[in-house]
Structures are given as structure tokens and as C-alpha cells.
Chains A and B, each alone.
Chain A
Amino acid sequence: MPDNNTVTTGAALTLSGVTKKFGDAVAVHEIDLDLMPGEFLTMLGPSGSGKTTTLNMIAGFLQPDSGTVTLDGREITRTPAHARNIGVVFQNYALFPHLSAVRNVAFPLEMRGVSRKEALRRAHGALELVELEKCADRRPAQLSGGQQQRVALARAFVFEPGLLLMDEPLGALDKRLRETMQLEIMRLCRRVGSTVVYVTHDQEEALTMSDRIAIYNEGVIEQLGTAEDLYERPATTFVADFVGDSTILKGESQGDGTVVGAGWTAAGPERGATPKGDPASVVIRPEMVRLSPAEDAKSTVNQMTGEVADVVYLGSQVKYIVAGDGGDEVHAKVARSAQWSRFERGDRVSATWSAEDCVVLSS
């Protein structure tokens, strides 16, 4: 923790061609990443997709089979973990059970040759920053999950590392506490100024916290971009499916950005041209779908006629599941407002969306 509240400069991190195999299984395949100093990058993906393996190679707990890791221009691929000066927050906190909270936080300072007295003083300062000063002398077992998480955070940033790694740090907390901690972590990271690599499988968490998100799938990064990029311009159906709620319609490409499916035709911006006759998908976000009574249907493109199969009440929104006449399903999320028209199960409706609100993907 900077004593006079100066901000640490984050480190630039570069991974190039990093590959890791466990036996015959490829855990991570040729990962390339480039982080700007101070950037908050989240690795998002299902479990087993290689995000934690990547994190472990950055931390120095694992050695890549090939490729290099560079921190602030210095190659650290083979540097042992203890010499890397990278802060790590673990999913289970990994606090030392035999040391009090403040001694846990002082640990990295003592390892760097700071005197016991000075280390404790700075550790108290760091605990103050996470609002845990009053629990300084308690052992981890006497702290709640959220408090342990704060101690773990304080311990990871107290020695002012240029890079902070967090492996599902909020995974063990309940939803409400998780939301509070998300904001707190963001606030702390901004204050400390470190570059952050954050691992999660919770897409909401990723969208909330990150500057950029890397979507992992089966050991490769499917797409790297801002939350907006991923949400509005998904590169693959995997990304579209993983990030946010979406309807993915499968049909046949007409070669011009138009896709024809069972009982519907869609046209929109294309990500990579798909030859005529090849399978193609159309991604539509449910909040971009409008519903109207079936007899009002005007256009035949970007429209599907069907029957309301289910109505799900979400509070401020209502989600309709529309079973199209051709057998495909489209979801529509409609905001409740003063003049909204409500549909019931079994109503005949027409679902429409605009061309700019859908994305056409190959396969």
C-alpha cells in the first residue's frame, strides 16, 4: 500500500504463444495476450477451459511447455514464483491459519526484508484500507468469508506489486456479498493502480468489472474485447451463448448476410462471409426483440410468427418464450412500463428485430 497514497504504476504483461499440456491433454494452446499497464482483464470461461492454468503460468506455479511470459519487458517464463513480485488472491483465500490477520498481511513485507515493526505498521494501514482494522489480531478461523477475502486482498497488494492475479476470489461468497466485494475490488485496484488479471466463470462479474474480457473455450481464447464488443459483436456462437442471454437461430446462408431458417428469414451484419448454402447462425439479444399481435405482422425479414409458449416474470422485465411456427424458439425480454401490452400463454404473436440488432455468424 502506498504510504502517502501515491499510486503504483501497473506493469505491462505479455504472453506469447503460451502452451501447456498435461500428459496428452492440451490445457492451454498458444495463448497470446497483451495487457496495458493498469488494465483490468478478466478471463472468463467454463471450468476446465484453461483460464486457471494460464493464471498459474503467469504466477510461476506452472511452467509453460512453450511460449514466453514477459512482465514490464523482462522475460519471466522460468523465474521462480517467489522472485516475480506478483500479488495473487486465491479462491479459498489461502490465509496462513497460524498467523493473525495483520501478520498475514505483514508476511510479504517481511519476506522483502522490511523490519517487523515497519511491516506491521504498513500491514495495519492496508487493513484499514479494506476496513478490517478492528480484526487485525484475529486468526483467519475467527473471520467470516468476506473478511478473510479482504485480508487476502490486503496481503496481495500491500507490497505494491505491478500485477495482481485473482483466481475466482469471490466464488465462495453469497450473491449479495459478491456484488459488494466486486465494487470494493474495483475501487481498490483503481486506487492501487496495479494491472489485474481476474479469473471467473461468472459472466455478470466479468461484464461489471473488466476493461477487457478474454473468453476461454477448450484452451484457446475465443474472443478478446470489451464487454460491449463481446455482447454486441460476438465472434462465435460460443461467445454469444456464454456472454449474456441470447437466442441463436440456425439456418442456411444465402451468401449475402441473409440466413433462411425454418419459418423465418434474417439479415444482419456478418462476422466473416459465409458462402451460400453453408450453415449459418443468427444471434439475437432478447431485449432487442419486439412482440406484437400476429395479425399486425408487416415485414417478412427479421421476423418470426408463433405462439407464446411461456411467460417468465423477472421483476422489471417479462421474458416471453415464443415457439415459432417452424419449430425454432426466440426469446423476448420486454420492459414493463406504463403503456406496455401484455401477452398470455397461447397468444399468437409476431417477434421482430432490426437488422442492426442481430449478428450473422458462420456455422
Chain B
Amino acid sequence: MTVGTVPAPRRRGLLGLGGGGWALVLPLVLFLAVFFLYPLVQMARESAAGGFAAYESILTSPVYRKVFGNTLTIAAATTAICLVLAYPYAYVMNRVSPRMRLALMAFVLLPFWASLLVRSFAWIALLQDSGLVNQALQALGLTDDPVSLIRTTPGVLIGMVHIMLPYMVLPLYTAMARVDDRLLLAASSLGANPRRRFVRVFLPLTLPGLAAGCLLVFTISLGFYITPALLGAPSQAMVGEVIAEQVEQFGLSTASALGIVLLTGTLVILVVIALLAKRLGRSAR
């Protein structure tokens, strides 16, 4: 994440890299070059195999436009829901005893310890019409007929939010842990009531973590495949599903073009957000 992270310490003169120090990055650079950059170039070439026909059909077809629209909407909604759930959670994590904090941390990290596929199938079991959630709703008398949760956008969102929560909670928790409590006391002594203390001091100081969390969740969500494929409605497909479909039908050119468009779009969004953040940071002076 380039946006919103803490600027690197300025004085690095004494412990700078020695002459051959740069060689330390070589293994990773080589790995990326062979297993990421080369395939990416191959993919770009594949996408342009038939001239720019694949791009033309993607950019003009209303079907694909709808797919991209869905993808952006679902990724944005996932990000927003994660943020709303994670911010107060991370705040509480910072205020409780170390033992309680460990428990809360484990609770968030739980999804990390089970495979994505297993979790998505588990959500099917829970969310289907005869599943646990609907049984509970009916037992509580909240609804007579089962609420269709599976094969709907809310179903996808439930699954994705569950998977993405740790990516939001962890950066927020770290950012909040860095806020010096004395700054909050100072704000109070200067006349800020709890609400203004939050808006004028706590929120701005946790913005870097908030930006990092949102970017992580949003960019990872854009490429989701399994969860929407299992929990979502076919009519609300995301780009990842359409790419998989194309690959299965040997539409490699279209699949590659879709991948390139998604990648480019993501990069554009990142740059725009980075520029906005920079301007925001400047105006805060």
C-alpha cells in the first residue's frame, strides 16, 4: 500500500545499504519476473491476438458493462460493510485487557484458518432456504417463508464480508494502537466533547489505517471468484466468474482482455485514490 502509510524515517545515513545490499531484493524480483510479469505479458499478447476485437466487444457490450458495474458495486459494498463493522470492533480491541484482545483477535482471524472453498460451502449450508439462518428466522417468527439469501447479492456480500474482515480490522487496529491517549486527553482539555474529539483528532489520526484497509479489501474483492460463483446469482456475476467461464469455453482472448481491463481499471482507481489522499493530507494543514 502506498497510500496513507507512515513516511519512512528520514535519517538512514548510518545504516544505509552497503555496496552489494541491493542484491537482497533479487530473489523476489526474479520470482515476480518469472511467475508474474512474464505471464502478464503473455496474457496481454493473448488478449490482442485478434487485433483489438476482444477489447472492442468488452467495452461496447452492455453485458460486460453490467458485469464490471456489478464487480465494482459488490467490491465497494463489501468495503463499506467491512469498514462499518471493523472500525468499532478495532476500537474496542484497543481498549480491553490484553487477554480479551487476544480473544477478539482470534475471532477475527478465524476465517484465515479455514480454506476459502470450505467457508463458501459452509455459507451455502447456512444460508440456503432450509438452512440454519432461515430456520432461526422462522423459529423467531420474523418471517413465514424462507428469505432467499443464497443466489442473491446479499448472499455474496455476507460471504465476502466474512472473508475480508481481517484485512480491514488489522490495519485499523494497528493505526488505532499508534494513537497516543494523551492526544485525546489534550483534545478534551482544550474543549472538545467526545464527538468532536473523535471527528477532529481520532478519525484523522486513524485515516492511514482506514485507507490501507479499504484499499486492501476493495482491490482483493474486485478479483473474487469462488464466493460469488457459489453464493451469487448468475445474473449478478462478477468479472472473475466471467473470466473463468470464458477460459472453460476456450475464449482465451476475451478472458485475457477481461483480465487486462480489470487490472487497468484497478490501477486507475488506485492512482485516483492516492491523488485524492495526497490532496486531503495537504488541505488538513
Which residue numbers of A lie inside 8 Å of B, CB to CB?
A: 59-61, 80-88, 90, 92, 94-100, 103, 107-108, 111-112, 137, 139, 155, 159
Contact = CB atoms under 8 A, between A and B. Distances in A.
Given A88-B186, A100-B285, A111 B205 contact: no
B196 interface: yes
Given A82-B193, A85-B191, A111-B192, A139 B285 contact: yes
Nearest to A105: B190
A96 B189 contact: no
A80 B183 CA distance: 16
B192 A94 contact: no
Contacts of A83: 191, 193
A350 to B, nearest CB: 55
Contacts of A59: 185, 189
A80 B182 CA distance: 16
Q: Which one of B187, B190, B191, B194 has the highest number of Cβ atoms from chain A below 10 Å of its Cβ? A: B190
B196 A111 contact: yes
A108 B196 CA distance: 11
A82 B191 contact: yes
Contact of A82 (B180, B182, B183, B192): B192
Q: Interface residues of B toward A: which range? A: 20 to 34
Given A103-B285, A108-B190, A155-B190, A96 B201 contact: yes
B188 interface: yes
Contact of A159 (B188, B190, B200, B284): B190
A103 B194 CA distance: 19
Q: Which one of B183, B191, B284 has the highest number of Cβ atoms from chain A below 10 Å of its Cβ? A: B191
B204 interface: yes
A90 to B, nearest CB: 6
A111 B193 CA distance: 8
A159 B191 contact: yes
Interface of B: 180, 182-183, 185-194, 196-197, 200-201, 204-205, 284-285
Contacts of A103: 285
Contacts of A88: 185-186, 189-190
Contacts of B205: 96-98
B188 A80 contact: yes
Q: Which one of B185, B194, B284 has the highest number of Cβ atoms from chain A below 10 Å of its Cβ? A: B185
B189 A92 contact: no
Contacts of A97: 183, 205
B188 A61 contact: yes
Given A82-B191, A82-B193, A139-B285, A107 B200 contact: yes
Contacts of B285: 99-100, 103, 137, 139
A81 B201 contact: no
A143 to B, nearest CB: 14
Nearest to B194: A82
Contacts of A60: 188-189
Given A97-B205, A137-B285, A81 B183 contact: no
B170 to A, nearest CB: 22
B188 A81 contact: yes
Across chains A and B, which 9 residue pairs bring their CB atoms closest together, nearest first? A111-B191, A108-B190, A94-B186, A81-B188, A88-B189, A94-B182, A100-B285, A82-B188, A98-B204
Given A90-B182, A94-B182, A81 B196 contact: no
A99 B205 CA distance: 10
A60 B192 CA distance: 13
A171 B182 CA distance: 16
A82 B197 CA distance: 10
Contacts of A98: 204-205, 284
9 contacts: A82-B187, A82-B189, A83-B193, A94-B185, A96-B187, A103-B285, A108-B190, A137-B285, A155-B190
A84 B191 CA distance: 8
A94 B180 contact: yes
B189 A87 contact: yes
A96 B183 contact: yes
A86 B200 contact: no
A260 B200 CA distance: 66
A103 B284 CA distance: 9
Given A82-B193, A107-B200, A137-B285, A94 B188 contact: no
Nearest to A84: B189
Given A82-B187, A111-B190, 16 more contacts: A59-B189, A60-B189, A61-B189, A82-B189, A82-B191, A82-B192, A83-B193, A88-B185, A90-B186, A94-B185, A103-B285, A107-B187, A107-B190, A111-B196, A159-B190, A159-B191
A140 B184 CA distance: 16
Contacts of A137: 285
B194 to A, nearest CB: 8
A96 to B, nearest CB: 6
A108 B193 CA distance: 11
Given A82-B193, A111-B196, A159-B191, A99 B284 contact: yes
A82 B285 CA distance: 24
Q: Which one of B187, B189, B192, B194 has the highest number of Cβ atoms from chain A below 10 Å of its Cβ? A: B189
A82 B200 CA distance: 14
Nearest to A59: B189
B224 to A, nearest CB: 34
